[in-house]
Amino acid sequence: MEDKRFLFEEDSVPHALRVMALPTIVSQLIILIYNLADTWFIGRTNNPYMVAACSLVLPIFTLTVVITNVFGTGGGTLIARLIGVSREEEASRVSAACLWMALGAAALYSALCLLFMTPLLRLLGASDNVIGYARQYMLFVVVLGGIPAILSNTLSAMLRSIGLSSRASFGLSMGGVLNIALDPLFMFLILPDGMQVMGAGIATMLSNAAALVYFIVTYRRASADTILRVRLNGKRPTRRSFAAIFSVGIPAAVSLLLFDLCTIVINRLASGHGDIELAAVGIVLKAERLPLNIGVGICLGMVPLIAYNYSSGNRERMDAVFRFGRAVGLGIGICSVILYYSLAPVILRVFIDEPETVRYGTAFLRARCFATPLMFLCFSMVHFTQAIGRGRDSFLLAFVRQIVFNIPLLFLMNRLLGMTGIVWTQALADLCTVIVSYIVYARIRKREGWPAGI
């Protein structure tokens, strides 16, 4: 861990953040690509019902990441803080406990999805044209693929928390590349015509399983010379550590859950305007993930550095990491607005060449892209509060963003302006949330006795 201590404590901020964030950005982009790959390959059928089915299952699959956040974010940030105050033995116990808790939660979630698959899809707005395809996709991606997906992401968070960002990112990237390779194989060669959605689901399940094998091997090897452990050996984390895991992990999970709920509301409202509109907005929600995933990668790279320096008392370095990462992410967000607005029709045709879907999607993407830099500012503030162990503030920001602003505005704007109102809601809601987040940030600094700053 000595080389990692230099990275956390003394290395230049741009280089340290590059070492931690670049692998996570790459892995986030590859994860994005393999998520988009399913939509892209299915879009080659020019069947909007198949595309709509994938869009409906997306929020259900996102719940696997919600579960990961409880133990990956809650446990990972705690591990970094414990190392910062030289409590390596407790950090070891936390890593093992989080791994086993994640496994239990994953198994329970997969079982529930199997039992309630059809009513859940109907609740999300699946029509008779879409329900069959959605069931195929959900069976393989969530029911059978949920456990490897959750464990892979949890193990990745554990590795990243101790500075092994490149190893963590390689496993996620490997799974993404494999998924891209397997998609056309199962969709167009192995399975018959009309089973493309099932083929995409099988490819995703197998790629997540392969990534899990990599992470198990890598994690066990890392446990030989780091604080990471698989077995508890009869020693559980302290009650205070369990409280710290859940005080950050649950708000982090709820934050993503509320984001997922917002996606469900968008899909539900869009389905009321027609299956073509649902397919178009589904493509837009995936296409906009490119700059957002880059932003998430930057935030994930910042978190261990911020958490370590917060617990060790190096406020100056903590602030420098946060400022630099935020500036880089904001710049990327502004560039994405320009590119997405200019290239919207081209981007839509990459996914599907059905004229009506492209026409709707172009208008939707040009509206949604203005929210991108604002969304990054929201993400960065939430990750900062998680890194310093302030779960309540993290939850507050997520609650305000989705429950106070986003979801009520979705219903209001849908009633006033229809689909146009739905796609403009995100920018308006996030503008309000950014204002609130900086008020919360200023109060945290005042409470901690830090100098005022942005």
pLDDT value, residue 350: 81
Determine how many CB atoms are found less than 10 A away from the CB of residue 147. Answer: 20
pLDDT value, residue 35: 67
DSSP class per residue in 287-350: HTHHHHHHHHHHHHHHHHHHHHHHHHT-HHHHHHHHHHHHHHHHHHHHHHHHHHHHHHHHHHHH
CA 239, CA 216: separation in Å to the nearest integer?
Answer: 27
Instruction: Tell me if residue 235 falls in helix, strand or coil.
Output: coil
CA distances from 244 to 79, 252, 392 (A): 10, 12, 11
Instruction: Tell me if residue 273 falls in helix, strand or coil.
Output: coil
For the stretch 396-426, pLDDT in tens is 998 899 899 999 999 999 999 888 888 899 8
CA 396, CA 402: separation in Å to the nearest integer?
Answer: 10
DSSP class per residue in 398-413: HHIIIIIIIHHHHHHH
CA atoms within 13 A on the CB side of 348: 25
How is residue 192 annotated by DSSP? P
Regions of the chain with pLDDT less than 70? 1-4, 34-36, 452-454
For the stretch 262-299, pLDDT in tens is 877 887 888 788 778 877 887 888 788 888 888 888 98
How is residue 226 annotated by DSSP? S
Instruction: Tell me if residue 1 falls in helix, strand or coil.
Output: coil
Write the CB contacts of 3 (distance below 8 Å, at least 6 apart in sequence): none
Q: Kindly report the pTM of this predicted structure.
A: 0.76
pLDDT value, residue 191: 86
pLDDT value, residue 373: 93
One-letter amino acid at 297 equals G
CA 205, CA 27: separation in Å to the nearest integer?
Answer: 18
pLDDT value, residue 210: 94
Percent of the chain scored above 90 by pLDDT?
26
pLDDT value, residue 293: 84
Q: Which residue has the tokens 């999607």?
A: 361
